[in-house]
Structure 1
Amino acid sequence: MNERDSSEVKSAVRVLELLELLSRAEEPMTLRAIVSELGYPKSSTFNLLATLISRAYVVRIEPESYKIHDAFRNGPGWASGRDAQLIATAQPIMDALRDQEGETVFLGTRRRDGRVRILSKSVSRQAVRFDSDLCGTDPAYCTAMGRVLLASWASHRVDAYLARERLVKITDYTVIDRVQLRKIFDETRRNGFGVSDREAVPGGSGVAAPVRDSSGEVIAALNIATVAPRFDSCKDRLAQAAIRNAAELSYRLGFKGSITSGK
């Protein structure tokens, strides 16, 4: 054993080798396949996977397959702490919501500058669907998640964001008037959900609802996104589904208060 090998921590090496294996795999891997590939005991491999799932680095696909989380394969990077707990708690809800409604589900948070950072997604299985990369940031003024997050922010911070953000008419439907945008944020707060209909992406529409932590603070937004031709017929249903599932996620994060929606 050389000097480098003697300084390695066995458990850390196993975690890294497990992550490296899953990052190379094009499809989810079964526990049996992982054990066979790495040569680890089944029990310890299962425990390592459970830990990585709890930290949101790995996602379990029923009945017993595993894959590295898309956020770490495609960006924006590694997560820990609050974001990791949020992703790990949200993913099963997002996957179930995707299967229930047949549309893509996103989870996003607000950056300090007010823009939206997408943490996780569960992509629709329909042939024609909405999707977006887990990298970069999105403007808040014209997106459903952004409007939810701005609606819960202190007014002086919203004013600062609108003064700082370059309000661009991305599509013919994008609202850029600051007075009208403030009215939209107020409506979002009253209704308990936000809407963006072909404003942020041509042909893309969606709804989002707020996610709260144990203190009641809005820390994220749960978004259901679809293609515009399907949106008109399912908008109300998607809005209620977003509210209901965001409330369930909030409950699992420790929020025990009541959430009322306007419509």
Structure 2
Amino acid sequence: MSKVTSLPTADAECAATISEQIDALTDPSFMTSLARGLAVLQAFSDARKPQTITSISQKTGIPRAAVRRCLHTLRELGYVDAELNNFSLRPKVLTLGYSYLSSTPLTVSAQPYLDNISRTLNESSSLAVLDDDEILYVARASTSRVMSVALNTGSRLPAYCTSLGRVMLAHLPRAELDAYLARTRLIAKTDKTVVDHEQLRAILDTVRRDGYAINDEELEIGLRSIAVPVRGASGTVLAALNVGVQAARVDIPALKHNVLPVLQQAAQELSILLP
């Protein structure tokens, strides 16, 4: 009998959550097969190598037979390619996100401002929104790599331990923030990560009051960042704008003195263009 390798606890919980969310919906208009197909596509998002049916099943909690049918369909439609039992995404999958990026005023308007921030400061700058309890990068201007993993448009990171995420969380309605904190497990990414819910709530109160968030090596050692909110015409926070730096080069006073005013100016000018 072959040995089955168990998933790490966090991955197993995530897989169970995805599968349970899909299967628990009893709306007669809800298409479970479509939901499973999208979950299979998302299973490739953090993978740098081809995926097998077994690995995707483990990530999503979807039975292998259903994963196999999803992959067959996606391959027939041109979104997935396969070599033996190894599956990878094809360029056509980019069309699924291009419509959003090309039609949303936020992403269309933001890129020139990000480019200008990066030229002015010689640092990488990003724009992100809150999506499913994570931050989703929707625009980025990179001058150098400050994280061990590459960040691009479409990348996702936890909201609770990022400057972008804390800006977004700080401006949620109180009931929505309470629900987020109740369902979110705070996992330490470094020895500096805040994992106490009440301490995080206090930090978010400060972010809301001060109008910016600073992350000091809580996501990754050596990474320091600062973020500000981007508001629409109604004053609602639609996104967050940040700059990430190497902690060894830029201290917190320098972030506040040199970087914060540039971010605030860009956010203010960008807000004028948004509905």
TM > 0.5: yes
Q: 1:196 corresponds to which residue? A: 215
- Confirm or deny: 8 A CA contact 1:76 1:134 kept in the other structure: no
Please tell me the root mean square deviation across aligned C-alpha atoms, in Å. 2.4
Distance 2:113 2:163 in 1: 19
Q: How many residues of Structure 1 are paired with residues of Structure 2 in the alignment?
A: 180
Asked if residue 91 in structure 1 is aligned to residue 111 in structure 2, the reply is: yes
Shift of residue 80, structure 1, vs aligned partner: 2.7
CA–CA distance in structure 2, aligned partners of residues 139 and 79 of structure 1: 25
CA gap 1:137/1:75 in 2 versus in 1, 3 angstroms = farther
Q: Distance in 2 between matches of 1:83 and 1:166?
A: 34
Matches of 1:137 and 1:91 in 2, distance apart?
Answer: 18
1:150 pairs, out of 153, 169, 172, with 169
Could you tell me which residue of structure 1 aligns to residue 264 of structure 2?
243
Residues 149 and 75 of structure 1: CA distance in aligned 2, closer, same or farther (over 3 Å): farther
**1:165 — aligned with what?**
184
State TM-score, norm by structure 1: 0.63
* Letter matched to residue 243 of structure 1: Q
1:76–1:136: 8 Å Cα contact kept in structure 2?
Answer: no
User: Residue 83 and residue 164 in structure 1: after superposition, are their counterparts in 2 closer, same or farther (change >3 A)?
Assistant: farther
SS of structure 1 residue aligned to 2:245: strand
Partners of 1:73 and 1:238 lie apart in 2 by: 36
List runs of 5+ in structure 2 lacking aligned partners: 1-91
Matches within 5 A, 1:90-169: 90-111=110-131, 113-124=132-143, 126=144, 129-130=146-147, 132-169=151-188
TM-score, normalised to structure 2's length? 0.60
Unaligned runs of 5+ in 1: 1-71, 255-263
Residues 215 and 224 in structure 2, CA contact (< 8 A), matched pair in contact too = yes
Q: Percent identity?
A: 34
Q: What amino acid sits opposite 2:100 in the alignment?
A: S
Deviates most, 180-189 or 159-168: 159-168
Q: Is it true that 1:185 corresponds to 2:204 in the alignment?
A: yes
Structure 2 matches for 1:2-151, cutoff 5 A? Answer: 77-80=97-100, 84-111=104-131, 113-124=132-143, 126=144, 129-130=146-147, 132-151=151-170
Instruction: Report the CA distance between 1:143 and its aligned residue.
Output: 0.4
Q: Distance in 2 between matches of 1:73 and 1:86?
A: 22
Asked if 2 retains the 8 angstrom alpha-carbon contact of 1:144 and 1:207, the reply is yes
- Distance of 1:248 and 1:138 partners within structure 2: 26
- Tell me the distance in 1 between the aligned counterparts of 2:115 and 2:155: 23
Name 1:216's counterpart in structure 2.
Answer: 235
Deviation per CA, 1:35-70, whole angstroms, max 9, x where unpaired? xxxxxxxxxxxxxxxxxxxxxxxxxxxxxxxxxxxx
| Secondary structure of 1:221 counterpart | strand
